[in-house]
Chains A and B, each alone.
Chain A
Amino acid sequence: MYTALVIGRLFSGLAWLVLLCCLACGTKGPPTDEAATLIVGRAADAIGLDPARVTDNESVEICAQVYESLLRYRTGTTEVEAALAVAWEVSEDGRQWDFTLREGVTFHDGTPLNAEAVVFSFRRQLDENHPYHLTDSSGLDFGWRANYKNIVSVEATGNRTVRITIDRKFAPFAANLAMFPVAIVSPSAVKEWGEEYYRHPVGTGPFAFGEWSDGRIVLERNAHYWGVLPKLARLIFKAIPDARQRLVALESGAVDVAYSILPDEQQFVTLHPELTLYRAPANNVSYVALNTQKAPFDDVRVRQAVNRAINREPVVKLAYQGMAIPAEGALPPTQWGYSPKSFDYAYDPMRARDELEALVLEGVLDPDEEIAFFVATTPRPYLPNPGMVARIVKSNLEEVGLRVRLVEQEFSSHLEELRRAKHHISLMGWVGDNGDPDNYLYVLFDKDNAKLGRARNLSFLVDEPLHTLLLEAQQSSERATRSEIYKRAQSRIGALAPWIPLVHSQIAVVARADVLGIEISPAGQVLFEKVERR
């Protein structure tokens, strides 16, 4: 009886104790969702989220999280591996590519991934008569179609098997299939949203689209992802166009990661104990495109002369704050097939001036004619401070006797104008997509891509020998042979001087110290599936 009483008291005492402890510890709750959310501040908003209809890096970055293609690059390399396809076979003549699809994969909207969805994704951009080959009302088009025009047919040979037939043997095709424009989209979502699909993307990737408003794109972790689940529950991309403001947002914790910090700010970031600066060689190039279809740059001698007029030292040191290396051609040195000094024009303003003066005398060049220099005001990964670069280039050109007028506008209009060949010269850049030299040389210099309105060859260079070389390289499957051909192509391009190659930049990503696992892919993108918050 007495024992029971004591035990009873003991228990009630314990209950008190527990209650008090709970009260005392009540302030410590479970970790909030904030820990699993990452906010990325970047210079611009995405333009559209339909992978087949975007080209800008901001859009591509989102598409890379939401969508997947049949193939992909093995992490950290430019080697191609299986993604939505688990296996593929190429026929003897290199024309028939048979893919077997991964089983049990569904789109974020629940639509199952099958051969029909793959065929739909290809056909809607390749077949102009396809009901969902959307019209050009949103300023987006299926510009990437040019890259895939070698596709003859895409057919479902079974529920999980697809056969893609191309017109001829084309070696970079596997690399092309790993690119985002041929990412597989949910047919039901495309049918549901129609024209508005670019604002409502549905893919199979590690993150699913949440919402997009006021320059803020919210992605949620795809809990049904077939691969390794991302550690972040939510990934938010915020457009903060002002570089200074981006840094302030990063310092204050409003964003966790920021891109395109002003070069002068990078020293501040380096000195700051709560921020970490990540640098990586970027797979890109910035250049001045010389419109070969317009006088005076239709004359190769003019193009060669201006190539000698540009001093890259202030560009690298002042505009990139050292976060770049001078470019000697289109390919960055890290790209296989790279040929050094393909543009062999050392900085020599006197010679440039002399040559140009000779051409004036010859009547080729009118020194009073203003050269329209198109420049985008939006910082790009390859061009963080476009204004200063433009001014350095402008003064260098003026130094050698040219009159230059800057045409500065926002990036999408800038691109639009360039594709329509409004410029004499323009400040541009390119980010390698598929890790193949073809992606630089064919895309940027071949006549196939110089079609007005959707051109990527912004110098509108049309050169048959080069075209022959580039096609030859596409049809050879031996890397050594292709490398050799690309060396010749680069030398040919250098001689034709359709560009003034400027620099290959380095990527600078700044993150708060509590963001871990930041890795930058060879394509220059942060691998968000590996990032976590401490």
Chain B
Amino acid sequence: MRTWRFRLRLRHKLAASLVIAALLPVLVAYWVGASVVLRGLERGLRAETEKQLSVGINLLLRDIERLGHEATHLSSRKDLVEALTVDTTSTTEVLKVESQYLHAALIQVSDATGEIVARLNSTGSQDRFAGMGVTSASPAVQAGLTYERRVTVERLGESLMVRATAPIVDAKFRLVGVVVLTVPLDGLFADQLKASLGADVLIIAGPNAGGEPMMSFIDDRGARLSTWNRPGGLVSEISQGHRAFENRSILGNPYTLGYAPIRDLEGQVAGVFAVALDRAPVLEARKSATRSLALGAAGAFVFALGLAGLLSRRIARPLQTLHHGAIAIAQGDLEQKISVTEGDEIGDLARAFSHMTTALKENQRRLAARMREIVALHDAGRAVSSVIETDQVLRKVVDSVARVLHLRVCALWLVDQNEEGTSDPTRLLLGAARAKRSDMRTIGSKDVVAELVGPLRSLAEDVAASRGSLRFEDMRLHPKHAKAALSATIDGSLIASVLERKGSVVGVIVVGRGAQARAFSDADENLLSTFADQAATAIENANLYARVRRFNEELEAKVQLRTIELQAINDELGKTITELKETQAQLTLSERLAGLGQLVAGVAHEINSPSAAIRGTADTLADTVGRLSTRQTRLLEMLGPKGAHDLVEYISEVAPALSDMRRVSPVKVRRASKQIGDTLAKRHVQPETATAVAKALAELSADEELVTHLSPYLEGSASDGRFVVDTLTDYVSVHRSTRTIQDAIRRIQRIVGSLKSYSHLDQEAARAEADVHEGIENTLVILEYQLSRGIVVQRKYAALPSVPVYVDELNQVWTNLIHNAAQALGGEGQIDIETLVRNDGIVVRIIDNGPGIPDDVMKRIFEPFFTTKAKGEGTGLGLGIVRQIVDKHGGKVTCESKPGRTCFEVWLPGRAGSEERA
């Protein structure tokens, strides 16, 4: 997007810049000037106030000092000393006389004890000194009594006063009394100071200027001003002993006030002295100064404005002329004249512009001529390169040259090339030629032209031999070829130029004009030379093209042949791949068969033991049962039918319970047999019989009830007794055997059941929701024989959701992983099986604490056919198949290993993975 730009004319810019340039200093000058003047006025007033304050303070202090001097003076009056030493009552009279020479004050005199003996108000105005007198206890009197001469400012409530003390000593410097002079710093005092200062004066008691001031201001009703607003912000400064200044209005007039502290002899601020200077003249001066400055600034600005307009017009006019001229020239009007006559830089610029225009015009003319040639050359070149047949090329070259150079004759010879590609530049063959008759009409017949240019061949051969070019102004004057040229109708100028390509002469081109035509120029020769180069290129291109075409044809034939061969090879390859695929499938199958083999071996092993047990027990059972049938007969003989029947009934009843009893240790047997012997003895069983059966009964864990119950049958001989007990033993044995066989069969059933669910042989190999834990548990059962006693299997199962799996294939995964772990442990160690839920799926980890997998092996464990087992132990497809199966589930299997911990982790997605579709 094009950004919009505000277009301002140069003249206006110039005017604006000049105005701004003038305005800025004017404003600055106004601002600076005004502030300088105003500051100067304020500073002047402040300095004046400060000066007046100093003068005022000095006057005040001089007055205070004067009072001190007056006290001293008074104290040294001889008549006063005399009055005090001779007759104190005359003291007042003396004071009246002496006070004529003093300023107005309250005069008090004490005697040497401090008692006030005289008091005189030298002004006569009573209220001015009311309540201001001293007593003998006053510090002023007490100080005087110790010869101390002093003058200080004292504060008495809301007012300040100056108090001067002087000891009165006689000629021998003996103290005879004290004189104390008191003057209040009141309005009258302020008036005195004002009279000397010429400025109003304020005296305020207290360090905080808190009291009502004593002022020299008189309002318009003639009354003394006595109330005012205390100078709030300045109080702290003044009370700290510094000066302070402020502007404020008093009685409606503006004043600048300067405050200075009045200190007492201890250096404490006792009050404040202030002078007030009228600000009215300053404010007036300020106003008039501001006004004059503003007027001056405005005038300067107007002048600057006019000057800017004038100047910008003068500067911009020639620039504008130049601008218009430049635009016209830019639009191609080179005839434009720029009439700027100024002698300045713009004039120079305009003149330079004129020169530029002239130069431009000349260049444009030259360019046009050159352009025409280039167009012709371009056309010729295009024409020449647009054909690829050699003959056509030559013809085009000759036509183009003849047209561009306005020729009478143009002939092109080619160097004859033999079979081997070598050439003899002296043997030339006419390639193409063109000629015009004297009436400048082109000769149509090729043969006529060939005949016409024939004589020029020797000239061409000479040029080819010299590998240069020939240019002759008037062929009629040529020493060697004049005749040939004339016969070729060239009676004007001629150029012969060789066609070179890669350093070898390809041909010669000869052009000629009639005597009436212009002789050839350098430009013509250059043009011809360019043509010659182009022609040479074109000719070579044409030759090359011919060769390429030939080569192409040969190639095509070869390719066809090769294609047929390749087709055959391809077919062969296809076959091989198919075979490979088959082999791979077979290998996978054989691995699965190997797994099955392992499985079968396990199953066989598992079934073998119970089978052996059954076989052994079955043999014993057969013997026992055989024996029992014979025992029946003897029992009948011994006990009679009723007794035998009762006994057998009883034995059948207790035998199953006895068969459940554990075998008893020999120690227990010995102890039990003794008890049984005792019991039998009580039951009237003969000791021999008892001894004979006691051990056997003890071995059957017979209890007292059994022994009691059996005792009636044991009352006979020892052998009879023994027979009865043996019969019991045989019955128990039969029950035991039966139980053993039942157990063995149950075990076999369990194995077969596991095998069935492990292989799912009876189900379609389809993906189904299954409990992974069940699969792992089945696998563990199958592999139980491999997990020797030294291997502990620990399960850490999480609550897992059912996931869609190919149950039998997944069982092979668990088989391989657990089998590998067991192999790695070499008979001793621990296998942890952990399950957990993660990322919408489940994770099964098979972890062993074996020696770990070395790094180099680790990289390759999932490769098919990679194995660390000795040859023949495994195909090496185990973990490869694990990965294949897990991939098929859309899951992932990874392995981490370090010595002491190798973990295979299988992640299975909760939803069917992408492999489902495959």
User: Judging by beta carbons under 8 Å apart, are A6 and B17 in contact?
Assistant: yes
From 252 to 284 in chain B, residues with beta carbon under 8 angstroms from any chain A beta carbon are: 260-265, 267
- A267 in contact with B265 given A13-B21, A17-B25, A399-B172 (CB within 8 Å): yes
Chain B residues whose C-beta falls within 8 Å of the C-beta of A398 in the assembled complex: 172
Q: Determine if B866 is an interface residue (Cβ-Cβ < 8 Å).
A: no
Chain A residues whose C-beta falls within 8 Å of the C-beta of B171 in the assembled complex: 395
From 53 to 89 in chain B, residues with beta carbon under 8 angstroms from any chain A beta carbon are: 54, 57-58, 61, 64-65, 68-69, 72
Chain B residues whose C-beta falls within 8 Å of the C-beta of A24 in the assembled complex: 32-33, 35-36
Chain B residues whose C-beta falls within 8 Å of the C-beta of A395 in the assembled complex: 171-173
CB distance from A264 to the nearest CB of B (A): 7
Q: Looking at chain A, what size class is its interface with the partner chain?
A: 35 or more
User: Judging by beta carbons under 8 Å apart, are B57 and A272 in contact?
Assistant: yes
Chain A residues whose C-beta falls within 8 Å of the C-beta of B207 in the assembled complex: none
Interface size for B (C-beta < 8 A) is 44
CA distance A23 to B263 in the complex (A): 43
- A274 in contact with B57 given A16-B25, A264-B149, A321-B149 (CB within 8 Å): yes
From 1 to 56 in chain A, residues with beta carbon under 8 angstroms from any chain B beta carbon are: 2, 5-6, 9, 12-13, 16-17, 20-21, 23-24
Chain A residues whose C-beta falls within 8 Å of the C-beta of B262 in the assembled complex: 271
CB distance from B409 to the nearest CB of A (A): 62
From 78 to 115 in chain A, residues with beta carbon under 8 angstroms from any chain B beta carbon are: none
User: Judging by beta carbons under 8 Å apart, are A271 and B21 in contact?
Assistant: no
CB distance from B486 to the nearest CB of A (A): 70
**Nearest chain B residue, comparing its CB with the CB of A15:** B25
User: Judging by beta carbons under 8 Å apart, are A313 and B147 in contact?
Assistant: yes
Q: Which of A17, A21, A398 has the most CB of B within 10 A?
A: A17
Q: Determine if B13 is an interface residue (Cβ-Cβ < 8 Å).
A: yes
User: Judging by beta carbons under 8 Å apart, are A20 and B28 in contact?
Assistant: yes
User: Judging by beta carbons under 8 Å apart, are A17 and B173 in contact?
Assistant: no
From 234 to 271 in chain A, residues with beta carbon under 8 angstroms from any chain B beta carbon are: 251, 264-265, 267-268, 270-271
Instruction: Report B32-63 CB contacts with A as 1/0, cut-off 8 Å.
Output: 11011000000000000000001001100100
CB distance from A340 to the nearest CB of B (A): 22
Q: Determine if B463 is an interface residue (Cβ-Cβ < 8 Å).
A: no
User: Judging by beta carbons under 8 Å apart, are B263 and A273 in contact?
Assistant: yes
Q: Which of A5, A317, A322 has the most CB of B within 10 A?
A: A317
User: Judging by beta carbons under 8 Å apart, are A268 and B64 in contact?
Assistant: yes
Q: Determine if B893 is an interface residue (Cβ-Cβ < 8 Å).
A: no
From B29, B148, B265, A270 is in contact (CB under 8 Å) with: B265
Instruction: Report A331-346 CB contacts with B as 1/0, cut-off 8 Å.
Output: 0000000000000000
User: Judging by beta carbons under 8 Å apart, are A268 and B32 in contact?
Assistant: no
CB distance from A289 to the nearest CB of B (A): 21
Q: Which of B150-158, B739-747, B840-848 contacts A (4 or more CB under 8 A)?
A: B150-158
Q: Determine if A392 is an interface residue (Cβ-Cβ < 8 Å).
A: yes
Chain A residues whose C-beta falls within 8 Å of the C-beta of B297 in the assembled complex: none
**Nearest chain B residue, comparing its CB with the CB of A20:** B32
- A16 in contact with B28 given A273-B261, A318-B173 (CB within 8 Å): yes
Main secondary structure of the interface of A (DSSP, over half): helix
CA distance A354 to B407 in the complex (A): 170
CA distance A20 to B58 in the complex (A): 41
CA distance A2 to B17 in the complex (A): 10
Instruction: Report B452-463 CB contacts with A as 1/0, cut-off 8 Å.
Output: 000000000000
Q: Determine if A314 is an interface residue (Cβ-Cβ < 8 Å).
A: yes
CA distance A316 to B28 in the complex (A): 67
CA distance A322 to B13 in the complex (A): 84
User: Judging by beta carbons under 8 Å apart, are B24 and A270 in contact?
Assistant: no
CA distance A13 to B32 in the complex (A): 14
User: Judging by beta carbons under 8 Å apart, are A9 and B20 in contact?
Assistant: yes
**Nearest chain A residue, comparing its CB with the CB of B170:** A395
- A396 in contact with B32 given A5-B17, A318-B149 (CB within 8 Å): no
- A271 in contact with B61 given A16-B25, A24-B36 (CB within 8 Å): yes
**Nearest chain B residue, comparing its CB with the CB of A252:** B58
CB distance from A191 to the nearest CB of B (A): 52
CA distance A2 to B265 in the complex (A): 75
User: Judging by beta carbons under 8 Å apart, are B20 and A251 in contact?
Assistant: no
User: Judging by beta carbons under 8 Å apart, are A251 and B58 in contact?
Assistant: yes
User: Judging by beta carbons under 8 Å apart, are B29 and A314 in contact?
Assistant: no
**Nearest chain A residue, comparing its CB with the CB of B241:** A273
CB distance from B300 to the nearest CB of A (A): 12
Q: Determine if A311 is an interface residue (Cβ-Cβ < 8 Å).
A: yes
CA distance A159 to B68 in the complex (A): 64
CB distance from A9 to the nearest CB of B (A): 5
**Nearest chain A residue, comparing its CB with the CB of B58:** A251
Q: Determine if B669 is an interface residue (Cβ-Cβ < 8 Å).
A: no
- A13 in contact with B24 given A268-B64, A399-B172 (CB within 8 Å): yes
Q: Which of A13, A21, A398 has the most CB of B within 10 A?
A: A13
Which 8 pairs of residues, A with B, have the shortest CB-CB distance? Answer: A317-B147, A16-B25, A13-B24, A395-B172, A268-B65, A24-B36, A314-B173, A24-B32
* A-B contacts besides A13-B21, A311-B173, A317-B147, 8 pairs, CB < 8 Å: A9-B17, A24-B33, A264-B68, A313-B146, A314-B147, A317-B149, A396-B172, A396-B173
What are 30 contact pairs spanning A and B, CB under 8 A? A2-B13, A9-B17, A16-B25, A20-B28, A23-B32, A264-B72, A265-B65, A267-B150, A267-B152, A267-B265, A271-B153, A271-B262, A271-B263, A271-B264, A272-B58, A272-B61, A273-B57, A273-B243, A273-B263, A311-B173, A313-B146, A317-B147, A318-B147, A318-B173, A321-B149, A322-B148, A392-B173, A395-B172, A396-B172, A399-B172
Interface residues of A (CB under 8 A from B): 2, 5-6, 9, 12-13, 16-17, 20-21, 23-24, 251, 264-265, 267-268, 270-274, 311, 313-314, 316-318, 321-322, 391-392, 395-396, 398-399
